[in-house]
């Protein structure tokens, strides 16, 4: 009886959370699943069940297959680079030197700029003839690069923008992890005569592995879900070179009105993200050292 009462009480406490999650998370997810099997009209009116039709046309859509390829390339371009760079910044900002607080502030200051604003600034940087980057390159004699107007460069440029935009958050997470590592370990290592690199690879990195693992996973997910920078910088072009999955979903649903087809893409993206994350848990977690 008491158990029952406790259970009821617990449920009551959870109810607000479930209510909000239900309205803003579970309901949209279920709707997306339903849409992906239906013919959907404007205003979200379900006009009929079409079974796997949307999924089958996904497989034969060159545009979607291209989006898949581009998204995986994009992950490859952004995730390792972001992690390595921000880890490097966190390690040097964590050194006990005068003024390291200033650098910590500078390295994390990017967080203060919204993704849309960053992209708008970068649009000026990447302009083919007026852009800052090309002007600097021209000054040292490097020929103009068609950052956003050539299909060979565009994805790389968007990736570059994404790396820059993601640095600060990763930096803060890494710095937090680094500052959690106990001083004693370093002191005793020093007594044992361990050098700087030994300390870095034998103490810092292993003890940082939970953070590293977490950062890797959220970076993968973020990279798969990138949208704002693509929308502002390239609109998925040129020639679909930067048409990442989420942009493709947006275009299909809200520009072309193909809600069902877009929902099917969303489900596929969900499955890909899920599988990639599961693989990371299987492979990655064995190497993670929890204190």
Residues that bind another protein (CB under 8 A): 9, 12-13, 15-16, 19, 23, 42-45, 123, 127-130, 138, 143-144, 146, 148-151, 233-235, 237-240, 251, 254-257
For residue 260, the minimal CB distance to another protein (Å) is 14
**Smaller CB separation from another protein, 19 or 105:** 19
Q: Which is nearer to another protein, 134 or 168 (CB)?
A: 134
Q: How far is the CB of 252 from another protein (least distance, A)?
A: 9
CB of 39 or CB of 150, closer to another protein: 150
Residue 16 or 112: the one with the smaller Cβ distance to another protein is: 16
Q: What is the DSSP string of the chain?
A: -HHHHHHHHHHHHHHHHHHHHIIIIIHHHHHHHHHHTEEEETTTEEEEE-TTHHHHHHHT-HHHHHHHHHHHHHHHHHHHHHHHHHHHHHHHHTS--TTHHHHHHHHHGGGGS-HHHHHHHHHHHT-TTT-HHHHHHHHTTPPP--TTTSHHHHHHHHHHHHHHHHHHHHHHHHHHHHHHS-HHHHHHHHHTT--HHHHIIIIIHHHHHHHHHHHHHHHHHHHHT--HHHHHHTTT-STTTT--HHHHHHIIIIIS--HHHHHHHHHHHHHHHHHHHHHHHHHHGGG----
**134 or 216: whose CB is closer to another protein?**
134
**Of residues 124 and 281, the one with the C-beta less far from another protein:** 124
Minimum separation from the CB atom of position 154 to another protein (A): 9
- Least Å distance, CB 196 to another protein, is 46
Find the shortest distance in angstroms from Cβ 72 to another protein: 22
- Please give the structure tokens belonging to residue 25: 């998370």
Shortest distance, CB of residue 291 to another protein, whole angstroms? 38
Q: Based on CB atoms, which residue is closest to another protein, 9 or 84? A: 9
Query: Which of 204, 105, 216, 121 has its CA nearest to residue 170?
Result: 216
CB of 149 to another protein, least distance (A): 4
């Amino acid at each position: 009886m008491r158990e029952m009462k406790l259970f009821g009480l617990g449920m009551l406490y959870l109810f607000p959370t479930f209510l909000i999650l239900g309205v803003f998370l579970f309901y949209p997810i279920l709707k997306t699943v339903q849409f992906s099997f239906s013919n959907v009209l404007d205003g979200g009116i379900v006009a009929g069940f079409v079974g796997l039709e949307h999924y089958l046309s996904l497989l034969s859509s060159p545009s979607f297959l291209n989006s898949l390829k581009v998204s995986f390339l994009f992950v490859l371009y952004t995730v390792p680079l972001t992690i390595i760079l921000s880890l490097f910044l966190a390690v040097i900002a964590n050194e006990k030197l005068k003024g390291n607080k200033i650098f910590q502030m500078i390295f994390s200051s990017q967080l203060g700029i919204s993704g849309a604003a960053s992209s708008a600034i970068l649009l000026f940087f990447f302009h083919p003839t007026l852009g800052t980057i090309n002007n600097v390159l021209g000054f040292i004699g490097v020929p103009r690069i068609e950052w956003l107007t050539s299909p060979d460069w565009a994805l790389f440029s968007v990736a570059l923008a994404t790396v820059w935009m993601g640095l600060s958050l990763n930096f803060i997470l890494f710095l937090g992890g680094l500052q959690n590592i106990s001083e004693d370990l370093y002191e005793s290592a020093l007594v044992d005569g361990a050098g700087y690199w030994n300390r870095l690879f034998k103490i810092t990195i292993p003890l940082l592995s939970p953070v590293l693992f977490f950062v890797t996973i959220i970076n993968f997910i973020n990279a798969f879900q990138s949208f704002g920078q693509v929308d502002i910088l390239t609109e998925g072009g040129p020639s679909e070179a930067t048409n990442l999955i989420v942009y493709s979903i947006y275009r299909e649903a809200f520009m072309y009105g193909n809600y069902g087809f877009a929902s099917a893409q969303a489900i596929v993206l969900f499955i890909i993200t899920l599988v990639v994350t599961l693989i990371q848990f299987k492979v990655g977690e064995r190497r993670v050292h929890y204190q």
